[in-house]
Amino acid sequence: MILLTAADSRASHMVGGDIIYRCLGNNRYELTFILYQDCASGNQEAIRADAPLRFGIFKGADKNIFYTEGQIPNFSQEYIPAEFSNECINNPPIACLQRQIFRTTVTLDTSFYGYRILYQRCCRNQTIFNVINPGETGVTYYVDVPPIRSVGCVNNSPVFKNFPPQIICVNNPFRYDFSATDPDGDSLTYRLCSAYPGATLNDPYPDGGNMFMPRNPINYLPPYSGANPISSNPQLTIDPVTGIMTGTPTRQGRYVVTVCVDEWSNGVIKNSISRDVQFTITNCSKSVYASMPSWRDREDVYTIQCTSNTVKFVNTSYGGFSYLWRFGVGDASSTNVEPTFTYPGVGEYEVTLIVNPGTTCTDSITKKVIINPFFDVDYTFEGKMCPNELIEFESEIFTQIDTAISYKWYFENAEVKDGPNTSHIFPPPGGDKYVTLVTESRLGCVDTLTKVIPLDVIDVFAGNDTIIVVNYDFTFNGTGADIYQWSPSTHLSDPNIARPRAVFTDTGTYTYYLKGMTPSGCEDIDTINIRVVLYPHMFLPNAFSPNGDGLNDVLRPTIVGYALVNTFEIYNRFGQLVYKSANDNYPGWDGTYRGQPADVGVYYYRITFTDPFSTDRHEKTGDVTLLR
């Protein structure tokens, strides 16, 4: 939507302005200054400051020689209705346009070069989008009087027919009549042109004698210009003959737009007038909106199909109660909400969706349907179906005249590989693995194929490294395979089972290798180190830090060669028991007392445990420091 507003406390209330002159005879001219002001959000103090209106008149070859100045204290004022009535818009904006008209009469002497009449004010709305530093850029409204070579009337200026537009919706076609009439019957042509700055922050409302015509237009923010003032698709244009402005604004924001009218007599331009206005593009919420999905990043395309001529249409519109689909094949159409249509063959078609056809509130959208030659993808794989084994993948494309330009292989570990063929090694433990191949063709076809790669499950684990005492009856615990083979076989009761037993009579470190296999021949290997010591012992750290960082958060005793921890007790410095565990081979204190964090400091422990070869009980005491 375009809503002309302003809120700057100086002159940001100004929406636009015109200067008109009418010859009264005997070199006397009636001057009319028309100011359009935003009375909805414009600063009322700034609006009142527009009176009295000040102007200057200049002459000379460049019309820069001061001739006279004037002030007009009295004015007429009227409020102009928005004339916006659209039942298809949910949120019509608040708009208020006020017109102030100032009139005076001046006498202009004969002049070989004619005159220029100026009005200047500072500054523009600082939120204007298409101007650099708009809050420091003023306005200049001007009109030229052709040369006056004798007493009488040489010209009357054209007059715009309509007020500046107040409301236009973004992303909706805009059509507005900027035409004018000429009292003398001269021919008029229209063009978009540049606006001019005027006045300064230091002198925002100069006297006529201090005004001057700027040499250069305002500084437009690229890519904007006087000829391209707003974001629009198609671009904003004005018909040079009719003065009809058209376009479809695509971006919200305030914009300066200027229309120039050239007055022709006998094939020569004898005068020009301009209208410098401010557009504010904002959003209109439509109650009816036609919509269908787009194909990938192609907003103008609904789908590109390469394996079938039959298209299922999805309707994402809202506000509709009836629909009309036109498929771009003769008169073929459907009134279903989401129809299916089979196209006659390869080609590019236009599908149009009309929401609520034949009603007041209707909307439509058109996109392309592209039917390409058949394109399909398959792939094969071969290799030993085991973890840690190389498996080869080879693609195969089925098409008539198309070719593949992109191959992407997606594996479960988020790895992506390119190319028509590839290979991959899957880590243990195996199982069903999903591999997806996405192929794109030269014509834009995309085919996706996912297959299951059935790997044997194998993930051999020989157990954690451990410490035992000589002559202790130790049982291995291999997992993750169907068939087991331990090596070396020394000390083992049976090297070909998962849980062989062993008794070590000598101290030292023993390393065993566990080879696991599946019935189909997949293999995996793991190792375990067993340290054999002469006597049992117990170890407890002398400090721990239960601060929740996952490091040393729990105080645990480590036993080697003892059968069982009978009790594990913690006392504070007052002798109070703060923790106790009984008959637990993996006890641990988390640094709390009665559910609350215990104080930092030194604590005392007492541990009792049973000898593995007798029923004798042993005890160990000491201190430990709690840190945080």
Domain locations in the chain as residue ranges? 2-281, 301-371, 375-455, 466-533, 539-626
Task: Give the pLDDT confidence score for residue 87 in this predicted structure.
Answer: 62
- Please list, in sequence order, all residues whose beta carbon lies within 8 angstroms of the beta carbon of residue 315, skipping any fewer than 6 positions away: 291, 292, 323, 337, 338, 353
Task: Give the pLDDT confidence score for residue 93 in this predicted structure.
Answer: 65
Peptide bond before residue 123 is cis, with ω within 30 degrees of 0: yes
pLDDT, averaged per 10 consecutive residues of the chain (628 residues), comes to 39 82 94 88 78 94 92 88 65 77 95 94 87 92 92 90 82 89 95 95 91 95 97 96 94 93 92 90 81 91 92 95 96 97 96 90 93 91 95 91 88 90 94 95 89 96 93 94 97 97 96 96 96 88 94 90 84 95 83 95 93 78 95
pTM, full prediction:
0.50
The tokens 């006297």 sit on which residue? 207
Distance of CA 14 to the CA centre of its chain: 34
Range 278-297 burial, b when 16+ CB lie within 10 A, else e: bbbbbebebbbebebeebee
Q: Does domain 539-626 have CATH number 2.60.40.1080?
A: no
> Are 301-371 and 539-626 the same fold in CATH?
yes
User: And the tokens for 90?
Assistant: 């949910």
Task: Give the pLDDT confidence score for residue 495 in this predicted structure.
Answer: 97
Provide the 3-class DSSP secondary structure of residue 167.
strand
Provide the 3-class DSSP secondary structure of residue 468.
strand
Q: Which CATH architecture best describes the domain 466-533?
A: Sandwich (2.60)
Task: Give the pLDDT confidence score for residue 83 in this predicted structure.
Answer: 62
Say which CATH topology domain 375-455 has. Answer: Immunoglobulin-like (2.60.40)
What homologous superfamily is domain 301-371 in, according to CATH? Immunoglobulins (2.60.40.10)
Instruction: Give the Cα separation of 497 and 131 in Å (integer).
Output: 84
Strand partners, 356: none
Distance of CA 491 to the CA centre of its chain: 68
Task: Give the pLDDT confidence score for residue 412 in this predicted structure.
Answer: 85
The tokens 């005491």 sit on which residue? 621
Q: How many residues does the chain have?
A: 628
